Each structure stands twice: as structure tokens, then as C-alpha cells.
Amino acid sequence: MPRRAGAAILRSRTAGPVSRRERGRRCRACPALPPPTDGARSGGRDDRLLCAERLRRARPGPRDGGRAAVRKPETVRVAAGVHLVAGSNTNWVIVREGDTVTLVDTGYPGDRELLLASLAAVGAAPEAVAAVLITHAHNDHLGSAEFLRVRYGVPVLMHEAEVPHARRDFLHQVTVGKVLANGWRPGVLPWAVHALRSGGTAKVPVAAPEAFPVAGALDLPGAPVPVHTPGHTGGHCAYLLPETGVLITGDALVSGHPTSRVRGPQLLPRMFDHDRERAVASLAVLERVDAGVLLPGHGPVHRGPVREAARCARESAG
């Protein structure tokens, strides 16, 4: 039998630029942004193709011990005491006030060393974390929450509807089958391999997650105000930092993603949302928030009125 018979072949090429026709179809609120591509090709070049068997078998090797390669944390100071950190494919936010910090999300399980390095980079130790606020309980945001809770006694707080999700009473997360069904889309399979290697399917429940103790502003550094934005998950929450005009949006509103060819404010591709209609409706909630800096769960900092960013994403979502 030929050596390659009966098996799909891994081919890897760089996706090409957005076509002229695609550049002409743009969101009215954000005229500089092209829409996502619909096919398996971009600019006439093949994106990466990966067989299902290789995807299922993609796991951390002995060299990385199940963790993503450690690098210097990419930390952006966006306001006084507020830092956005880019993990291996997911962001988290550090809000420092005096000697204590609020940590919003924690990246993938494989991002743990990078997470700890990012705290050190802003002059904080893990013991200084007053609380971890979770936007939603997917592994790429929840990854080290239980570690911080058990090792350092840090409370892990979230919307009451997300508490059972964090305990893993159930799991509202994109399935392997759905990823494979969308594998022809540019970037999907390379993203999936990275997610698997970083602990995207690891078991990292939080044994004792807590609902917010009060309504409104929390008594934590930055005085974060939870903003319920269901859709991506049932208990998804954004967090407003009123004194700095910063809104942390998690996956309710992002500015980029490895599986998207769009740059700027947008929803994640449909396959990632538990309830797409509610995710779109939550953009109207964000349109009413008075903030001038958007810190997403994926993608770079977006500066400008959040209401305009949310409106752009809503129009692009159809």
C-alpha cells in the first residue's frame, strides 16, 4: 500500500490577503474592517489543512510537560493600574491598586507560568490577588483559577449562572465534532491544535466558585462592575472599571481571533457561542455602557467608544 494511502496529508501555507471584493464589503460603523471570509481559501491560497486523526492525537509532548512554551508576558498598560496581558491565544487583565490586584480571567491551563510572570511584571505576587473574576468558564479563561484558589486562597467570583458551569456540572463549550465540521475554515484547525496543546480539553473545574456577593460595584481593586452579557455562555459577564473608563468584555465582544480574518470589534465565529441570538442581543447591553477602552478576551486593545464598537459588531453579525 502506498505510504500515504488512506490518510489525510498535513499541508501548511500562509493565508493570503483579503481580496479586493471582500475589502469592499465593510461594516458601516467601522469602514476600515473587512468581513470574514466564507470559504476555505483566502486570497487564492490554501489555508492549513489538517486531518481529523492528527487533530484528535494532538497533545502536549514530553518537552513541554503539558504547558505552552513560556515567553516574556506581553503586557500593555492601558490606564493607571490596568494592564492587558496577551496569553498564548487568550487575554487576561490585571488591575492593581496599592499592594493588591484584581485578576480578570487566567488564560489556558498551559498559560500558568506566563500568568505568574505577568503578575511579577507589574510588581505583584500571587498572594496579592484579592480575587479572580471570571468572564466565563471556558478552559482558555478559567485555566489557573482553581490553582490560585487552592494554592493561595484566592476567591474565584463570577455571575451566579456561571457557577455551576465552573464546577463542571455541565459544559457549554464548542465540541470536537463542531470544530471538525468547521475545519475547512481558515485558521480553525491550527487554532484547535494549539487549544489542545494548551489544555483546552483538560479537566480544570473550580471546586468552590462563588457568585458575586453584592449587586453593583465589587469591593475590589478597580471597583469592577459586572455587566451580564449572556450568549457565549449563560452566565458570561463583562466588567466595567468606571474610574478609568475601561470595559473588560471577555468573549462577548472581541477584536480578533485566530479563526477570524476580521480585524476590529466583532463576535466570535458562531460555533463558539452557546446561544447566538442572546450573544447578539448582549451587544445592545454593551452599547449602553459608557467606556472608551475595550479590553477583549481575544485580540488587541481597542480604543474608542465601546458603544460604537458594539454597534459595529452587531451590524457585522447580521
Query: Cα(175)–Cα(200) distance, rounded to whole angstroms?
Result: 11
Q: Is residue 3 part of a domain?
A: no
Q: Is residue 4 part of a domain?
A: no
**pLDDT score recorded for residue 26:** 40
| Locus of grid cell 477583549 | 296
* Whether 140 contacts 201, CB under 8 Å: no
Greatest distance between any 2 Cα atoms in the chain = 68
Each of the 318 residues of the chain gets a pLDDT tens digit; together they read 443 333 332 333 333 444 444 333 344 444 333 333 333 333 333 333 333 334 344 444 333 334 444 578 899 999 999 999 999 999 999 999 999 999 999 999 999 999 999 999 999 999 999 999 999 999 999 999 999 999 999 999 999 999 999 999 999 999 888 999 999 999 999 999 999 999 999 999 999 999 999 999 999 999 999 999 999 999 999 999 999 999 999 999 999 999 999 899 999 999 999 999 999 999 999 999 999 999 999 999 999 999 999 999 999 885
**Which structural domain range is residue 210 located in?**
45-53+65-316
CA distances to 67, 173, 182, 231 from 115, in Å: 12, 23, 30, 27
Q: Is residue 100 part of a domain?
A: yes
Q: Is residue 238 part of a domain?
A: yes
**pLDDT score recorded for residue 318:** 59
Query: Cα(268)–Cα(252) distance, rounded to whole angstroms?
Result: 8
Q: Which of 117, 110, 150 is nearest to 132 (CA)?
A: 150
**Where do runs of H (alpha helix) occur along 93-182?**
112-121, 139-142, 145-152, 163-167, 176-181
Q: Is residue 185 part of a domain?
A: yes
End-to-end C-alpha distance for the chain, whole angstroms: 49
**Positive or negative: CA dihedral 16, 90, 141, 316:** negative
Q: Is residue 235 part of a domain?
A: yes
Q: Is residue 297 part of a domain?
A: yes
Tally the domains of the chain.
Answer: 1
pTM of the prediction? 0.79
For position 207, which CATH number holds? 3.60.15.10
